[in-house]
Structure 1
Amino acid sequence: MMSKRSSGPAAGGDVPLYVDLTRVRSAAESFGFHYLEGEQRLVFPWNNHVLIVRIDDDTPPTLLFEAELRERLSFSEIATTAQSINEWNHERLGPTASLRVNDDGEVEIHSRTCVLIDEGLSDEQLSEHIRLGIETTILFVRELLGDHPDLETGAEGTDELDKRRGQQDLAAMMEHRAAEKRRSAEDNAMPMHAETDTTEWADQVDEDDFRGDAQSPTEVTVDRVRAALSDLGITKTTGEDEALIAWINGVLFGFFIDNGPSYLVKGHWDPGLDPDGDFLRVFLLCNDWNEETLTTKAYTHTDDDGLQVRVEFTVAVSAGLNDAQLEHNTAVAINHILHAVDTISTDATGVSAVEWPN
């Protein structure tokens, strides 16, 4: 049934398999990345940041890359830091950047990349996600240091710095950063968009129970995205070669094949707020969403009509997706973007911008 959306030869030539830490470890080793092994996670220590790679079994299951800068910023820099983070989230597909004020009043900087694994990953897909997850995090840290040199930890080899890095690495091997704060979309107990049935995610699928689609990944095209949307009950779309546009529950969605290539799904909320007076307030609402959730990224955008909000879901597709993966990523993207727009618009204005079905 799903093979009708296949396009061209398999990009990876292999089929998606169950994703566990053993496969993640093997992929990381193939690139020569140095890591430490902690509690159900791999920890990649760099001079200025620590990156945790782990499998999150929440709904839906994900391969998660969580980074934290080793240094902190003064609270007096929160406004300029907010501008830097929002600019990154606006201009870059990933990772998602966010900030948090700790108990000492210091500003911590985080980043996060998330890959859906409910339908498995082929060896080529997994390797590409590992490489991109690590390398784009390094790029983010490098660019942030250019704007905020105080985040530079200094030269390696200093006893005090090395001791502090060691303590941070040890903590990263043991802790779930931000896990207690996160809410999944299903925690909101909201209905799905009106044109699809509720998607049932597996509770916790182990390798023996995994039943991924044996179809090899193929190139992701706009035609295949259109077919996936149709299978989800979304048939009213416009667009041709480069993008599709659809209104879903009162929210404008765009579906793009971007550079990389990446499959990008973008939701729009256009309240036309004051770019100067409302920026920090709305940024912090977007930042809360980015800190507390995994799959989507929210940020502010200014145009001739004022301050707007965009929410994005992105997955790298240089190794292709099979039909089950494409439909799964599309369904998750739509529903999590709707929940993001609902939460942020309600918190910002007291009224949801999403037209939920009764």
Structure 2
Amino acid sequence: MRPEALTGWISRVFGNARPKPTVASTPPEHTTPLTRDRVAAYLAGRGYQYLVDEDGDLTGMWEGSRFWFLLLGDHHEILQVRGRWHRTLPVLQRPSVLLAANDWNRERIWPKVYVREEDDELALYSEVSVDLEHGVTDTQLSQLLACGLGTGVQMFTALDAVLPGSPPPPTGPPSAS
């Protein structure tokens, strides 16, 4: 067998393995406390439009649905990305709405979806929550925020397809409503 034929795993078996090239590694990130400013920096860095509502929470519109970025817990250590679907449905549709929500929750980890009765209509919410008591790296925070937004939008899009009477989502800049 010619030496050039001894490549890959077989060359390692015969002891002719070439040394692996070294890969420059980046220094490990360190966790730092979760803050509203860090969440705002992520949103601004992605070019997302958002505002601070009257409760001091970050909020904005994605694909026509309202999302909030909440810091909960005694020390604001719990990040919650909560979305509210752009539509409401009649209370009479509760069985089909609950079936759609249960199907989603049974088949997926994120986001949790739930139904609330508001002003005699049904509102649907998405929610991704994580306890960051010991801090979070910038990379982790980016992944969590992207997960909360991405899976929430995905869930609302799926609901538009399965629940009857879907008007198009509203468009425009975020508002504090």
Task: Place the TM-score, normalised by the shorter chain, in its bin.
Answer: 0.7 to 0.9
Instruction: Name the CA shift for 1:60/1:34 in 2 (closer, same or farther; >3 Å).
Output: closer
**1:150 aligned counterpart, secondary structure:** coil
Match for residue 114 of structure 2?
A: 98
Match for residue 15 of structure 1?
A: 30
Match for residue 92 of structure 2?
A: 76
For residue 110 of structure 1, report the CA deviation from its aligned partner.
0.9
**1:28 aligned counterpart, secondary structure:** helix
Gaps of 5+ in 2: 1-24
TM-score of the superposed pair, with normalisation by structure 1 = 0.39
Aligned residues of 1:97 and 1:109 also touching (Cα < 8 A): yes
Match for residue 21 of structure 2?
A: none
Distance in 2 (CA, whole Å) between partners of 1:150 and 1:11 is 51
Aligned residues of 2:52 and 2:176 also touching (Cα < 8 A): no
2:78 to 62, 73, 83: 62
Distance in 2 (CA, whole Å) between partners of 1:13 and 1:112 is 30
Q: Quick one: higher RCO (CA 8 Å, sep 6+), 1 or 2?
A: 2
Answering whether residue 130 of structure 2 is matched by residue 115 of structure 1, we say yes
Match for residue 159 of structure 2?
A: 144
Letter in 1 for 2:87: E
Match for residue 176 of structure 2?
A: 170
Distance in 1 (CA, whole Å) between partners of 2:144 and 2:133 is 15
TM-score of the superposed pair, with normalisation by structure 2 = 0.76
Distance in 2 (CA, whole Å) between partners of 1:155 and 1:66 is 18
Distance in 2 (CA, whole Å) between partners of 1:136 and 1:63 is 15
Aligned residues of 2:84 and 2:125 also touching (Cα < 8 A): yes
Q: Equivalent residues in 2 for 1:141-220 (5 A)?
A: 141-154=156-169, 156=171, 169-171=175-177
2:48 to 4, 20, 33: 33
Match for residue 60 of structure 2?
A: 44
Report Cα offsets for 1:31-89 as digits up to 9, x if no partner. Answer: 22221222332112134310000211248830111111132101111101111000000
Kindly tell me the number of residue pairs found equivalent between the two proteins. 152
Aligned residues of 2:79 and 2:130 also touching (Cα < 8 A): yes
Instruction: Name the CA shift for 1:61/1:16 in 2 (closer, same or farther; >3 Å).
Output: same
Aligned Cα RMSD in Å?
Answer: 2.5
Letter in 2 for 1:95: P
Aligned residues of 2:82 and 2:148 also touching (Cα < 8 A): no
Distance in 2 (CA, whole Å) between partners of 1:85 and 1:110 is 10
**2:165 aligned counterpart, secondary structure:** helix
Q: Equivalent residues in 2 for 1:208-357 (5 A)?
A: none
Distance in 2 (CA, whole Å) between partners of 1:30 and 1:142 is 25
Distance in 2 (CA, whole Å) between partners of 1:93 and 1:132 is 11
Distance in 1 (CA, whole Å) between partners of 2:159 and 2:47 is 25
For residue 150 of structure 1, report the CA deviation from its aligned partner.
2.9
Aligned residues of 2:51 and 2:176 also touching (Cα < 8 A): no
